[in-house]
Amino acid sequence: MTSVVLEEIPDRVSLAVDISNCRGNCVGCHSPFLKQDIGEPLTEALIDQLVEENFGVNCFLFLGEGRDPGTLLRLAAHVRSLGLEVALYSGREAVDAPYWDAFDYIKLGPYRPECGPLNQPTTNQRLYRVRSGVREDITARFWHRGVGQ
């Protein structure tokens, strides 16, 4: 499933694409169906089509990693070749070193109900902006959105 989202990556119009074969086991998962091997395989040609059909996006967001890191990294490189920024929402605590070079944004951490979502200062999740190999934690940019909720 795809959708254009405005709040997942700050200051970006992101084309978000669900990736199946999730390795996580988050309590309260909002998309448990993504643990299955479902949907159409994501390819470079499909990415090209999705970007063409969604004029104005400036970021491509992979919602999950699947189970094939080589393909994920190859697709991320393809997205960059289109002139878009590329982001990853991972439910893992950490990702392998090549991911930090492949993505401009990486969200880490499984959802934990007791900690709250990304827009709560108590969250265990973190969103990093990666520039020239430097990881900047930009999670606090979400916190004003959750105050009073």
pLDDT, tens digit, 9 for 90 and up, residues 45-61: 999 999 999 999 999 99
The verdict on pTM exceeding 0.75 is yes
Domain count, the chain: 1
pLDDT, tens digit, 9 for 90 and up, residues 18-77: 888 887 767 777 777 777 787 889 999 999 999 999 999 999 999 988 889 999 999 999
pLDDT at 126 over 70: yes
The chain-wide mean pLDDT, for the chain, equals: 90
Give the SS3 label for residue 46.
helix
Q: What share of the chain is helix, strand, coil (3-state, %, to 5)?
A: 25, 20, 50
Domain residues for 47? 2-145
